[in-house]
Structure 1
Amino acid sequence: MIVVSAASGSLGRLVVDHLLARVPADRVTVAVRDPAAVADLADRGVGVRRGDYDDPPSLRMAFDGARRLLLISSPVLAPADRVRQHLAAVDAGRTVGVSAIAYTSFLGADRGADGMTEAHHATEQAVLRSGLPWTMLRHPFYSEAFLEPGLASAVDSGVLSDPSGGRGLNTAFRSDLAEAAARVLTGGDQHVGRAYDFTGPLWTYPQLADAIERVCGMAVVLREESKQAPGAMGWLHGLVRSGALESQTGDLQEVLGHPPTSLDHAVARFVASPAGS
């Protein structure tokens, strides 16, 4: 049995979709805070159990019998709360004797606890101490966070704002990361003891403008954005301009067995979606 925790979220649902393309539904179980939120998965034959990161006994019941457990990181961002939740999940997996655990970590979590990596570093260490066979799936930032706002504006106005300062981005799409997780969960022992640093192909805003022109058949003007965006996006753009998102590995393509999603495909998918149209 494969158990996917936090499966009601965007990533978890995509992982389940990819799993169902590879294994029978009766081999897949989801552990969620609110089982009613995934009634559609139950209708597809997926096992549904209550597994609340804030309720350790529920995690032990949810993970019991798991051959593979995918521990998807909690949506709670406060590091202390996130660490507490993750450690409860790791302990539950150890207590019930899951055969192997895969954890959705973040790039750089192996190098120390600093900012974004604090909770992920602590969780990786807990996984290693648990004695369970493990796989680390270190994610980059999601491509959607950068592409979708700019795409909507560019397709509507023909102007694409570029906040990158000419630097590249190594982001990856949720769908690719979800497929990679599904392949790890169904790939036997070949992924056990491996730590994957997932990145997508390095892309730039000029390349995105070219992709919009090719896919949509329209001229796109690239406009350098010098004014910092408010809130989290301003912080993210600062990371991009510093070059912090330019590290690259081939791990994602290796696990997928095919190239990750291209900009052209992403633009076409966006334009065809209700949000894009």
Structure 2
Amino acid sequence: MSIVITGASGRLGRFIIKELLHHVQPDQIVACVRQMESAASLEEQGIAVRFCNYDEPASLKEAFAGASRLLFISSPHPDDTVRLRQHAHVIEAAKKANVGHILYTGFAFPEHSDISMTHLHLATEHAIRTTGIPYTFLRSGLYMDFIEALDLHAAISTGNLRVHPGSWQFNAVTRSDLAAAIAGVLSVEGHSNKTYELVAPAVWSFDNVVSTLSELTGKPISLCPINEVQHWIFSFLRKIDTASTSGDLEHLLGRPVTPLIESLRSYIGASQI
């Protein structure tokens, strides 16, 4: 079995490879990267590294050669028109390389959102289905990383977590949980033509954040919704589905997702506790 992973030098890609090494041998993994020098540490582990650029179709067919499973990590390009073209290149190359199975990292509950990013993921999924190649759609939830925009250190210092007003609920998950679940899917049979919504099984709110911060720090912290908070993240969050839940992630993990208290502990650091 040869598992080919695109975007292998990115944050999610590296997390997935780290988890995948618990399931398969290094010589079963092929890491595809745009900058070969960025993957030196992967080569040192016995992982094959191949050049792969979504804008260069010729590089893709060579990178995907012999792939029994291709993990297609979606492009990070900020322009969704460019991303759609890049994704088309990947899918066409997968067909030409006779890839045995395509696994694609999209976005959770795209049908519930109305922004170009989610339209892109739906279009990519449709294009993959038309190839006739067995597929698995790994629809990743909102990364817990978004919480960095809230400036938790300022909240701890002032005793107030400032947010834009709203009935906010979140199904966000950690990259490490996503990586562990995806690695598990990559390493076994039984996931052909399935779609997984990789989100938390229960939502949490900003009220949960302040109570958890208070518990971690021993300081009273209050939620402070004010209209003056105009960070772009709140506009983005309103346009996507952050409240729908699914048990898919916990099922694939075979354990509970990382609890909110552990996620917050990692963001605020030991010096704040």
How far apart are 1:158 and its partner, in Å? 3.0
Q: Which runs of 5+ in 2 are unaligned?
A: none
Deviation at 1:221, TM superposition (A): 2.0
What is the rounded CA distance, in whole Å, between the counterparts of 2:9 and 2:45 in structure 1? 14
The reply on whether 1:125 has 2:164 as its aligned counterpart is no
Q: Which residue of 2 aligns with 1:233?
A: 233
2:28 and 2:217 mapped to 1: Cα distance?
A: 41
Per the alignment, residue 58 of structure 1 pairs with 59
Report the Cα offset of residue 48 of structure 1: 0.6
Aligned to 1:105: 106
**Shift in Å at residue 113 of structure 1?**
7.5
Instruction: Provide the residue aligned with 2:19 in structure 1.
Output: 18
1:37 alignment counterpart = 38
Counterpart AA for 1:78: D
Question: Which position in structure 2 is the counterpart of 1:194?
Answer: 194
CA contact (8 A) 1:110 1:124 kept: no
Q: Using the alignment, how far apart are the partners of 1:158 and 1:260 within structure 2?
A: 28
Give the AA of the match of 2:101: A
TM-aligned CA distance change 1:60 to 1:156, over 3 Å: farther
Distance 2:114 2:55 in 1: 23
The answer to which structure, 1 or 2, has the higher relative contact order (CA under 8 A, 6+ apart) is 2
Identity %: 32
| Superposed CA offset, 1:15-73 (max 9, x none) | 11111222221111111111111111111221110010011111111111111111000
Superimposed CA distance per residue, residues 48-99 of structure 1 (whole angstroms, 9 cap, x where no aligned partner): 1001001111111111111111100001132221111111111111111111
Q: Deviations over 1:238-267 (max 9, x none)?
A: 347xxx421111111111111111111112
Is the Cα–Cα contact under 8 Å of residues 8 and 14 in structure 2 kept in the other structure?
Answer: yes
Q: Does the aligned pair in 2 maintain the 1:164–1:205 contact within 8 Å?
A: no
* Structure 1 gap ranges (5+): none
| CA-CA distance at 1:161 after TM superposition | 2.0
In 2, Cα distance between the equivalents of 1:226 and 1:182? 42
**Hey, what does 1:270 align to over in structure 2?**
267
Query: 1:191 is paired with a residue of what secondary structure?
Result: coil
TM normalised by structure 2 equals: 0.91
Deviation of 1:236 after TM superposition, in Å, equals: 2.2
1:77 and 2:78 correspond: yes
**Greater Cα shift, 141-150 or 67-76:** 141-150
Q: Say whether the 8 Å CA contact 1:112–1:121 is kept in structure 2.
A: no
Q: Which amino acid aligns with 2:267?
A: F
Q: How many residues align?
A: 271
* Deviation of the 1:2 alpha carbon: 0.9
What is the TM-score normalised by the length of structure 1? 0.90
- Paired residue type of 1:192: S
User: Can you list the C-alpha shifts for 1:126-175, whole angstroms capped at 9, x where unaligned?
Assistant: 11011111000112221211256332322343322233523211122211
Letter in 1 for 2:26: A
* Aligned partner of 1:249 among 213, 235, 246: 246
- Equivalent position amino acid for 1:195 in 2: T
Contact persistence 1:94–1:130 (CA under 8 A): yes
Task: Give the conservation status (yes or no) of the 8 Å contact 1:42–1:48.
Answer: yes
1:81–1:113 distance in 2 versus 1, CA, 3 Å: farther
- 1:260 and 2:266 aligned: no
Alignment partners' CA distance in 2, 1:122 and 1:273: 43
Shift of 1:225: 3.0
